[in-house]
Structure 1
Amino acid sequence: MASSVFRLAPLPSPPVPLPRVPGPKLAPFTPNARADIEFVEFLGQEKDADSQVWKVKINGAGLFALKAFYFCHSDSLRDGQGGDLTRPLANLQVYVDYFDPFNCECRADGRLKEEKREDLAVKAYGYLLLTPQQETDLARKVTGESSLLPHANAGKLNGYNFWRRHEQHRGLPVRAIVKELVPRKTLNPNQAQGMWADLQTLHSLGIFVGDTHGGNYLGGKLVDFSRSWTMYHPAMVQIHDSTLQGLMLDELQHLLDYYYFLRNSLSRTIVIPQDLEAFCSGHIAKYKNLPRAYKWLKWEKNADAAKAYVEERLFERAAL
C-alpha cells in the first residue's frame, strides 16, 4: 500500500493498553484516557525531537510531568531505525507499532511494571489522549500564535504543523504519557554511581535504551525511552550482530561520557566504572548482558499466538 494513501489504524474505544502488538504495554491513566489538564510549566528543551514535556495538574490534582508526543511519519520510521532490519516488516503499521517513540516508551515502561522494577527509571503512570482543544491550546502556549493551528480536522495535513500530523494521522489524537514529576536538583555522587548498574539491569530485562546521554537522566534515573527497543522487538533479532554491537557500543559510550562530565563538573569522588570503560575501549564484544536474550513470552497470556505472530505475520513474505 502506497504511503500517500496509508492511514494508521484508529485507536480502540474504550482505550486499551498500547501498543497493540505482543509484548509489554502501558495502560491508560484514566478509564477513558481523557482528563482535564492544566499546563503549568514547560519542562523540556526546544531541541527535543520527539515530544513536549510539561509540568501539569490532572483533574485538579498533581503535580505530574506530561510527555506529549509529536507524530512520526511511517516512512521515516521504516527508513530510519527500521532501515537496518535484514527482513522488511509486513506493513507500515508494524513499523509504527515498534519504532514510533510513543510506542517505544510504552513498551519499556510496561516491561518495568511487569518486572516490578519501576525504580530503574522515572515512573510512568499511564497514557492520556489530548482533546483537539487541549492540543491546540498547548500549541498556542508554545508558539504564541493566536490563530487556530492545524489539528486532527484540518483541511490539509502534510506534517508542517505543530504536532507534525500527516494525512496518515488524520483523526488520531495526540498521545501523552503521565510521569512522576522529578525535581531538577543537583545530582549527588551516590545517585550517579548507580546509573551503570541500572543500565545493565535494564538490559537484563530486555530493554535496549539506545539514548543514554546526560539530558535523558534526572536524579540519576532515566526519563526517556522514546528510542528504546524492548523484547520482543524485531530489531533485536533482525539486525546484523555487528550493527547491533555498534549500537550497544554507542549506548554505553554515551553513558561513559556522562560519567566523565559529572566527574569533571560535579565531584571528583565519582568513580568511573572500570568495566564500562573497558567495554567502550575495544572490548564491547565481551559484553554478555544482551537484551535480546530476555524470555519475553513468559508474560504472554497466549504464548503460542504471540510466538506465531512474530514468526509468521510480522515480516514481509518473500516473493515466490
Structure 2
Amino acid sequence: MPQRKRRRKSLNTSSKWQSAVPSPSVYHGELLPSCAGPKFHPFRTSNPEIQFQTLLNEPNLSDTGGQGYVFKALVDSEPFAIKLFKFFDIEEEKARFADSQKAKMTDEELEGNTDPFFAECRAYGRIEEFYENCQGKKNPGLIAAPCYGYLYISEEQEMDLGRQFGILDWNRLDTHANTRIRALVKQFIPDEPINRKVKSVKRMLSDLKTLHRIGVYPRDTFARNYRGGLMVDFGIALTEPSCVLRVLPEWMREPEKYKDLGAFDDMIRELGIKTAVRAARPENPQIHTRGDYVRGELREEFVELDRSGKNAKPALV
C-alpha cells in the first residue's frame, strides 16, 4: 500500500520518529490466521538479522507480559519494536467458556480469535484493509502504530535471548517442542507521556472510534498501550467476525465490544488530563466507566450496574 504520512503532528512532544503505513511489497509466506476473517502477512524477509537491544515491557507487571516480550531491536540494521509471543494453550482458553459456548466454536476458530498472536494478526489485517479502502480518498492518517508483518525467531536467536536477557519462559508445551517463536515487527515509538492537549486527546478518541467502526475492539485501553498517541497492543482484541462475540449472550455482546469507551475515559481521568472530551455516551450507562462492566473469566461472573451506576449485581454467563 502507498506510504501515508501522518496528517497530524506527533501526539508526543518528540518528533524523532516518522510514522508511515507499510509500503507495498510481495510477501512470500502464509497469511495468518487460517480461520475466517482478516489475515496478516509475513515480514518482508523471512530470516532477517536481528539484534535485540532493550526489553521494553515488564513481563510480570502487565497483561502484555503474560503474552510475551517486547524489545527494541535492529532488524536488518533498521530500528523496530518486536513483540515475541509465548505459546498459546488452547485447553486453558477453552476452560474459560461454558460447554454450550464451546459447542458453537471449533478449536481452529477459538485459537484464531484468542491466541494473542493471532488476535494481533487479525486486528492489523483489518487495519490494513481500512487503509486499502481509503486509497484515492482523504488521507485518514494513522489509527494505530504501524506493524510490518510477522516472522519466526530462530532457535539460535531464542538461545541468545536466554543468555542476554535471561528469558526462558515461553509457555512451551510438548506440542510446541519443534515450533519456533512467533513475532510481530512494529514501528519503534519512544515511550513518552501521553500529550495532554485537548486536540491530542480528541484524536486518540477518534482513532479508537475508527477502530470500533471497522470492527476492531482492543479491549485493553490503558496508557501503557499507547506510544505517541497511537495504540500499540492488540493482544486481547476481538475483530469481526468474532466467534467470541458470536457465543456471548446478546445482552452482553455490546457492552463487551464497547467497554473501551469507558476505559478511555478512566485513562484520561487517571492521567489527570483536564478535558471535557468523553468517549462513553451518557445514554449508555453500562459502559460509562470501566468499572461499569468488569469482566472476569468468561465462564464466571460478570458485574452489571443499574442505571444509577452504584448498585452492582452478578450476572452469570
**C-alpha deviation, 1:132, in angstroms:** 0.7
RMSD: 2.3
Equivalent residues in 2 for 1:11-160, closer than 5 Å: 15-31=29-45, 33-46=46-59, 47=61, 48-59=65-76, 61-80=77-96, 82-83=97-98, 86-89=101-104, 91-116=106-131, 119-143=142-166
SS across alignment from 1:97 = helix
Please list the CA deviations of residues 267-296 of structure 1 after superposition, one character each: whole Å capped at 9, or x if unmatched: 43x3332x5262663477xxxxxxxxxxxx
SS across alignment from 1:276 = coil
User: 2: CA distance between counterparts of 1:22 and 1:93?
Assistant: 10
SS across alignment from 1:67 = strand
> Do 1:260 and 1:272's aligned partners in 2 also have CA atoms closer than 8 Å?
no
**Percent identity for Structure 1 against Structure 2:** 27
User: 2: CA distance between counterparts of 1:72 and 1:56?
Assistant: 24
> Do 1:195 and 1:221's aligned partners in 2 also have CA atoms closer than 8 Å?
yes
Amino acid aligned to 2:48: A
CA distance 1:83–1:40, shift in 2 (3 Å): farther
**C-alpha deviation, 1:115, in angstroms:** 1.0
Unmatched segments (≥5 aa) in structure 1: 1-13, 145-160, 285-320
User: 1: CA distance between counterparts of 2:183 and 2:283?
Assistant: 36
Question: For residue 272 of structure 1, what is the aligned residue in structure 2?
Answer: 277
Unmatched segments (≥5 aa) in structure 2: 1-27, 132-139, 289-317
> Do 1:139 and 1:162's aligned partners in 2 also have CA atoms closer than 8 Å?
no
Please list the CA deviations of residues 234-285 of structure 1 after superposition, one character each: whole Å capped at 9, or x if unmatched: 12222112222342454322211101123x1xx43x3332x5262663477x
> Do 1:249 and 1:280's aligned partners in 2 also have CA atoms closer than 8 Å?
no
Question: For residue 292 of structure 2, what is the aligned residue in structure 1?
Answer: none
Question: For residue 219 of structure 2, what is the aligned residue in structure 1?
Answer: 210
> Do 1:40 and 1:57's aligned partners in 2 also have CA atoms closer than 8 Å?
yes
- Pick from 157, 162, 166 the counterpart of residue 169 of structure 2: 162
> Do 2:124 and 2:147's aligned partners in 1 also have CA atoms closer than 8 Å?
yes
**C-alpha deviation, 1:173, in angstroms:** 0.9
SS across alignment from 1:115 = helix
Instruction: Tell me the number of residue pairs that the alignment of Structure 1 and Structure 2 aligns.
Output: 247
CA distance 1:87–1:73, shift in 2 (3 Å): closer
TM-score by length of 1: 0.71
Question: For residue 179 of structure 1, what is the aligned residue in structure 2?
Answer: 186
**C-alpha deviation, 1:187, in angstroms:** 2.2
User: 1: CA distance between counterparts of 2:246 and 2:40?
Assistant: 23
**C-alpha deviation, 1:38, in angstroms:** 0.1
> Do 1:125 and 1:178's aligned partners in 2 also have CA atoms closer than 8 Å?
yes
SS across alignment from 2:201 = helix
Please list the CA deviations of residues 189-237 of structure 1 after superposition, one character each: whole Å capped at 9, or x if unmatched: 2322222221111111011111112211112211110101111211222
CA distance 1:103–1:138, shift in 2 (3 Å): same
User: 2: CA distance between counterparts of 1:195 and 1:88?
Assistant: 38
**C-alpha deviation, 1:17, in angstroms:** 1.4
Question: For residue 201 of structure 1, what is the aligned residue in structure 2?
Answer: 210
SS across alignment from 2:256 = helix
User: 2: CA distance between counterparts of 1:260 and 1:251?
Assistant: 14
Please list the CA deviations of residues 288-309 of structure 1 after superposition, one character each: whole Å capped at 9, or x if unmatched: xxxxxxxxxxxxxxxxxxxxxx
Structure number with the bigger relative contact order (C-alpha 8 A, sep ≥ 6) is 1
User: 1: CA distance between counterparts of 2:178 and 2:190?
Assistant: 35
**C-alpha deviation, 1:110, in angstroms:** 0.7
TM-score by length of 2: 0.71
User: 2: CA distance between counterparts of 1:41 and 1:166?
Assistant: 27
